[in-house]
Amino acid sequence: MAKKRAVKRSAPEFYDIHISVLGFREEGQWVAIALEIDLRGYGKTFKKALAELEELMEMQISFARFKNDPDLIFHPAEPAFWGLFAQVSQDRLRALSNAIDDTESEYQVGGLALPHAHEIANFSKDFALDRA
């Protein structure tokens, strides 16, 4: 009888809020769009585009807090991007059920967790003005 291979599983992470991200190649570079905020990060790789996007999200949220204007955060991306995100997500789920590796796809989907409030408060210090 063949031994079953154990699958290592890490504890699931639960985030209060996450932002949907669609990634694709455009003009030789990766673009990562935060769909709920309509911000875009760019990079030579998808990881680099995500890193830039994450930094932009932190700055946008910090700035909204500094201005005491939450409406500066929520600006949904165009509906076409939402539709593409839904289609690519479905395709990825189908690929999983068929044991197909589609990590080299021309599109990527996922989510970025928003920082906790105390972390954002630390970012907002970057916008503090010297009133003296």
Read off the CATH number of the domain in which 45 is found: 3.30.160
Q: Say how many domains are in the chain.
A: 1
Q: Which class for 33: exposed (0-12), middle (13-18), buried (19 or more C-beta within 10 A)?
A: buried
DSSP letters for 9-36? -PPPP--S-EEEEEEEEETTEEEEEETT
Q: Which helix (H) or strand (E) holds 49?
A: helix 46-66
Tell me what the mean pLDDT of segment 104-114 comes to. Answer: 81
Identify which has the larger pLDDT, 127 or 108.
108
Distance CA 93, CA 102 (A): 10
Residue 57: inside a domain? yes
Looking at residue 132, its pLDDT comes to 41
In a domain, 1, yes or no: no
Residue 8, in any domain of the structure? no
pTM of the model: 0.73
Cα gap 86→11, rounded to integer Å: 26
On whether residue 10 sits in a domain, the answer given is: no
Confidence of residue 26 (pLDDT cuts 50, 70, 90): very high
Per-residue pLDDT, averaged over 32-49, amounts to 95
> For residue 43, what are the domain limits?
18-100+108-127
Q: Is residue 13 part of a domain?
A: no
